[in-house]
């Protein structure tokens, strides 16, 4: 039987969630003091009531017609609506409380991240009287979390392409010393062996583009990505690692992608490796020059990763990755 509780957590039944009518006024005062939005759906009247903070959080004017359940659900972010519906269905089936996160779209277009606690008010016999939802606006917290995640990803990319750690790892894998990398011979063409991941080298000086490309490529189990920040680093990685696909930025700090590809064509084993230009230049003449230089495709920024995956699939289908 499929689990229908994915995306939220249900706590065990607890007497504190069976709030009596006499306690509601004190609870509402507490909600106002702490800035918690509260909504109550009364089963007998089939009406929804919000406290002042709920109107503020959802961006609805409290003056006018009473808020309806349909109107409130209409403010839920479409992708999160099913999660909220499933949580409420689960609450009807089992006692206790449900905790979950979802998003709302205010009438002014603002997007708000909500952390909610749902539970049922019951009478002395345990029969439900109302469904209560208490919400906190966690938009700023989410933004901070996202910023921390992005910073961590950027640090990971910086560490990967740093001069010391990255090149030492590359040299160690090839059995050479970083100190002798300038005089070390380029790797010989690959020998026959078992099927392996496709090697993709991305040469790009923009850290955020590197980070994005790295994150997206990690969604594929059949791709192994290495990156470089300039032409010199890219040439060194290409010679020692022998990638199956080259992705080169047009404008690099020390060279142009077209000139870098010409140099890489001199590396044994890379004479015909598929190469793709990845550039913010969208003029037709730039694409023509890249095609004349031997690039198999031209990816404009922001990159269409569906197109990138299609290109990689075509390369994989026509290659013997051994």
Torsions phi, psi of 45, nearest 5? -95, -10
In this structure, are residues 1 and 83 in contact, taking their beta carbons and an 8 Å threshold? Answer: no
Please give the share of the chain, as a percent, with pLDDT higher than 90: 32
Q: pTM score, two decimals?
A: 0.47
Q: Is the dihedral of CA 46, 52, 53, 57 positive or negative?
A: positive
Average pLDDT over all residues of the chain: 80
Domain architecture of the chain: domains with CATH: 8-137 (3.30.450.20), 143-317 (3.40.50.2300)
Mean pLDDT, residues 15-26: 52
Q: Are 27 and 130 in contact (CB under 8 A)?
A: no
pLDDT of residue 185: 39
What is the DSSP secondary-structure string of 281-311? ---HHHHHHHHHTT-SEEEESSP-HHHHHHH
266 contacts 259 by C-beta, under 8 angstroms: no
What is the pLDDT confidence band of residue 205, given thresholds at 50, 70 and 90? confident
Least confident of 41-45, 74-78, 99-103, 214-218: 214-218
pLDDT score of 2: 55
Please give the pLDDT value at position 186.
42
pLDDT (tens digit, 9 = 90+) per residue, 226-260? 988 889 999 999 999 999 999 999 989 889 999 99
Once rounded to an integer, what is the mean pLDDT over residues 84-93?
87
The tokens 């306690």 sit on which residue? 23
> Hey, how many other C-beta atoms are within 10 angstroms of the C-beta on 39?
23
Instruction: With cut-offs at 50, 70 and 90, classify the pLDDT of residue 127.
Output: confident
Which tens digit of pLDDT belongs to each residue from 49-76? 998 899 999 999 988 888 999 999 999 9
- Give the separation between CA 271 and CA 293, rounded to whole angstroms: 13
Give me the pLDDT at residue 45, please.
93
Is the pLDDT confidence value at 152 over 70? Answer: no
Is 50 exceeded by the pLDDT of residue 8? yes
């Amino acid at each position: 039987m499929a689990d229908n509780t994915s995306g939220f957590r249900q706590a065990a039944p607890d007497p504190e969630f069976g709030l009596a009518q006499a306690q509601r006024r004190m609870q509402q005062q507490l909600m106002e003091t702490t800035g918690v939005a509260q909504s109550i759906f009364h089963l007998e009247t089939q009406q929804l009531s919000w406290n002042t903070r709920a109107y503020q959080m959802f961006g609805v004017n409290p003056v006018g017609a009473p808020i309806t359940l349909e109107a409130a659900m209409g403010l839920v972010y479409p992708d999160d609506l099913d999660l909220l519906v499933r949580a409420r269905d689960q609450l009807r089936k089992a006692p206790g409380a449900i905790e979950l996160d979802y998003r709302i779209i205010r009438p002014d277009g603002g997007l708000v991240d909500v952390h909610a606690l749902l539970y049922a008010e019951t009478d002395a016999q345990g029969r439900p009287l109302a469904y209560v939802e208490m919400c906190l606006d966690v938009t700023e917290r989410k933004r901070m979390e996202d910023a921390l995640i992005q910073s961590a990803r950027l640090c990971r990319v910086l560490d990967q392409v740093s001069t010391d750690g990255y090149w030492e790892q590359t040299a160690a894998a090839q059995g050479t010393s970083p100190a002798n990398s300038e005089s070390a011979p380029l790797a010989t063409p690959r020998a026959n062996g078992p099927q392996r991941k496709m090697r993709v080298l991305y040469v790009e000086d923009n850290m955020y583009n590197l980070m994005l490309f790295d994150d997206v490529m990690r969604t594929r189990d059949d791709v192994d990505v290495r990156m470089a920040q300039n032409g010199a680093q890219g040439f060194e990685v290409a010679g020692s690692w022998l990638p199956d696909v080259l992705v080169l930025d047009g404008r690099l700090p020390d060279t142009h992608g077209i000139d870098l590809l010409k140099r890489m064509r001199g590396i044994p084993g890379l004479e015909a490796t598929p190469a793709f230009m990845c550039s913010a230049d969208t003029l037709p003449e730039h694409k023509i020059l890249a095609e004349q230089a031997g690039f198999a495709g031209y990816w404009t920024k922001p990159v269409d990763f569906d197109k990138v995956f299609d290109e990689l699939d075509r390369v994989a289908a026509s290659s013997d990755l051994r």
